[in-house]
Amino acid sequence: MAERRRTRQIMVGDVPVGGGAPVSVQSMTVTKTADVDATLTQIYALAAAGADIVRCTCNEQAAAEGLARIVPRSPVPIVADVHFHHEMALAALEAGVHGLRLNPGNLRKPVEIKQIAAEARDRGVPIRIGVNAGSLHPDLYKRFGGATPEALVESARLELAYFDEVAFHDVKISVKASNVPLMIQAYRLASESFDHPLHLGVTEAGPLPGGLIKATAGIATLLAEGIGDTIRYSLTADPVEEARAGRQLLEALGLRERKGLDLIACPSCGRAEIDVIGVAKAAQAALEEKNLPIQVAVMGCVVNGPGEAREADLGIAAGRHRGHLFIKGQIVRVVPEDEMVEALVAEAEQLVAEGVEARLAAGDATAAAQAEADRQALFAEQGNDVNASEEKVQLIRKTLGQERGASSD
């Protein structure tokens, strides 16, 4: 991971963005903003899934009025998304939003842009210049011969110049595209060109799982280069998935502290003694309900499992119809196979409550010996030749020998 690029800091409500602040997660509601209760329900779900900031569209008067009711009841800062109509930006400011997103591709009149910026300046509200390759200003499209990285950055630069005219500097910038290499290049160029915080995203990434992969490819590449101050996954899915993905990506990159469960599981192979996928899913569902900040491993066999997952806080590996429960790689209990998930969840709760040392001390003193006996028995049964290749080679030789014998008759 490269050192994070230093940017200016802005405040979106009480969430700092840029200037060394933790990278924040954003998502957007898909409800009608005018439907205050439905929108607030979704905002609460997004916040619970990891969103630090939530954006709502402000596309009509009823939406602006909805925002006036949503903002005071929201658990996280609210940004109004505005396209085409500058009066909607002014109405959103009147509603008390914590930030605006303007699209320079479709809000084009300098006098209106400056009016919004001056109003935002007076109210201390930041604006995101949200450039989008798909809705780039037609003049720039023509001038640069398409939605190139240079054209996207120029769009942001032109908007910044209008803001400068009214001494408004509380700005973050995004230069999104649905094409991942284009998005990466545009952000790299934006990072060299501006010291404003950058909001990262691959726009219109699409449904799962492809959308998740595209968005992660773009966002993670830039974050690893030290670029990016706040992120949004744009998925064609329940927005809770966006918030969850954003949060998990930041945790995986070590950019945010773990807030919830991190379930690791082996991919399974010929050695697996259980249905790893089924057990991992059952464990994930049960553990997610508890929302414990813990890393848990589900491993398909006791031969390699505990060793491979020794860094996990807690794990379980299967073997000879039993589950070997381990904490930081040390076996603490051996349980029947059909009690594996139950035992894992119970131990996870106790581990979070009591800590590693206490739970290691409370372990079954005979567990390590039982586990080693299982392991040795499996080794003896399976050896390293999971595919039984030697037997197969002998069978092939026998079969071919018979065939050759038959054809020479």
Applying CB under 6 A, which residues contact ligand SF4? 266-269, 271-272, 299-301, 303-305, 308
Contacts of 181 (CB under 8 A, 6+ apart): none
Q: Which residues pair with 10 in a beta bridge?
A: 17
Instruction: Specify whether the CB–CB gap between 222 and 240 falls below 8 A.
Output: no
Min CB(347)–ligand SF4 separation in Å: 19
Q: Which residues pair with 24 in a beta bridge?
A: 230
Q: Which is nearer to ligand SF4, 143 or 321 (CB)?
A: 321
Min CB(280)–ligand SF4 separation in Å: 11
Min CB(387)–ligand SF4 separation in Å: 12
- For 12, phi and psi rounded to 5 degrees? -100, 100
Give CA–CA dist 348/293, Å, rounded. 9
Min CB(282)–ligand SF4 separation in Å: 16
Min CB(270)–ligand SF4 separation in Å: 7
What torsion, rounded to 10 degrees, do the Cα atoms 374, 372, 341, 310 define?
-140
Q: Which is nearer to ligand SF4, 21 or 276 (CB)?
A: 276
Q: Which is nearer to ligand SF4, 304 or 370 (CB)?
A: 304
- 84 dihedral zone (left: phi>0; alpha: psi -120 to 50; beta): left
Q: Which is nearer to ligand SF4, 204 or 308 (CB)?
A: 308
Burial of 267 (0-12, 13-18, 19+ CB in 10 A): exposed
Crossing angle (nearest 10°) for helices 210-224 and 239-252: 40
Q: Which is nearer to ligand SF4, 384 or 408 (CB)?
A: 384
Q: Which is nearer to ligand SF4, 35 or 308 (CB)?
A: 308
Greatest alpha-carbon span in the chain: 100
Q: Which residue's beta carbon is nearest to the bound ligand SF4?
A: 300
Min CB(220)–ligand SF4 separation in Å: 25
Give CA–CA dist 197/173, Å, rounded. 6
